[in-house]
């Protein structure tokens, strides 16, 4: 079952309930801000202080960073691109069976996007809600010239306490430490006792979040990079839409095409970034 809902300020989202799971997806940014398997805790973290307003990013859930990840070459352009604050069109909802709901969204170039990024494109986002959360982000180049993208599905995962969390599947992988801008190699599982902001490369395995009472599995396709992030105490206290102690209850593992994993898309060609979470 799906329901189209609207807040008093006009902010629209789709609520999904089937036999396997429930979810909420905003049209603003095609942003998944809730996913919960039946009988389990929510998979995604959402800030209590987050905005639900048009053209503003939601803090938590899964923002879509596109067509660039991080800061653009032009410093005046928005952090993480414009997709996460753009209004997507809901193109289809398909109840495949009692356990599975598929939703399709799209974003096309417009006068507003071309002021920021002067290319013709079609961005399609397909979300499947079942006992797994599956996302496909498909970029099509509708221009006469090639373009370069970096991107990420910026997933915030709900955890019991960040001090009880470890990340497996990235051992021996090279990474850029974005705090020191040094290139390093991971030599163990990842744990947290300070701010972490790293872009891992050569990622070809399943990533596992081991929490105190559960495992979370992340499987990626069309990607060989992943971002691991937790702002810790000082940065968290300075961030908008987030309580001072919010860092304790989430970790971000972002399915990405970032830095050396950028994609060049030629005219009429496509690229698909896929992530499956459970």
Write out the catalytic residue numbers: 154, 254
* Rounded-to-10 torsion of CA 43, 151, 125, 214: -10
Other beta carbons less than 10 A from residue 125's beta carbon: 25
**What is the C-alpha separation between 162 and 266, in angstroms, rounded?**
41
Please report, for residues 49, 161, 278, the alpha-carbon distance to residue 239 in angstroms, rounded to integers and kept in the order given.
Answer: 11, 19, 28
- Partners of 184 in beta bridges: 175
SS3 string of 147-199? EEECEEECCEEECCCHHHCEEECCCCCEEEECCCCEEEECCCCEECCCCEEEE
- Partners of 97 in beta bridges: 100
- Partners of 62 in beta bridges: 32
Q: Give the list of residues 6+ apart from residue 53 with CB closer than 8 angstroms, or none.
A: 9, 11, 28
Other beta carbons less than 10 A from residue 104's beta carbon: 18
For residue 252, give the nearest of 269, 271, 230 by alpha carbon. 230
**What is the C-alpha separation between 261 and 89, in angstroms, rounded?**
28
């Amino acid at each position: 079952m799906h329901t189209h809902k609207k807040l008093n300020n006009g902010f629209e989202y789709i609520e999904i309930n089937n036999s396997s799971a429930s979810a909420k997806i905003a049209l603003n940014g095609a942003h998944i801000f809730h996913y919960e398997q039946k009988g389990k805790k929510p998979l995604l973290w959402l800030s209590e202080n987050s905005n639900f307003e048009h053209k503003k990013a939601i803090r938590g859930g899964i923002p879509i960073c596109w067509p660039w990840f991080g800061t653009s070459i032009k410093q005046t352009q928005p952090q993480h691109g414009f997709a996460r604050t753009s209004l997507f069109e809901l193109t289809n909802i398909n109840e495949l069976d009692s356990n599975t709901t598929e939703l399709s969204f799209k974003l096309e170039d417009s006068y507003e996007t071309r002021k920021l990024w002067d290319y013709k494109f079609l961005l399609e986002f397909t979300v499947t809600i079942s006992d797994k959360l599956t996302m496909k982000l498909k970029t099509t180049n509708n221009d006469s010239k090639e373009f370069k993208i970096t991107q990420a599905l910026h997933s915030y995962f709900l955890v019991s306490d960040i001090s009880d969390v470890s990340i497996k599947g990235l051992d021996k992988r090279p990474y850029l430490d974005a705090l020191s801008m040094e290139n390093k190699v991971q030599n163990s599982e990842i744990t947290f006792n300070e701010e972490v902001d790293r872009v891992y490369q050569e990622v070809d395995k399943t990533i596992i979040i081991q929490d105190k009472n559960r495992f979370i599995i992340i499987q990626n396709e069309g990607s060989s990079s992943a971002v691991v992030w937790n702002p810790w105490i000082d940065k968290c206290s300075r961030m908008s839409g987030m309580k001072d102690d919010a860092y304790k209850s989430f970790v971000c593992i972002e399915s990405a095409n970032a830095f050396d994993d950028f994609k060049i898309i030629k005219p009429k060609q496509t690229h698909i970034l896929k992530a499956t979470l459970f």
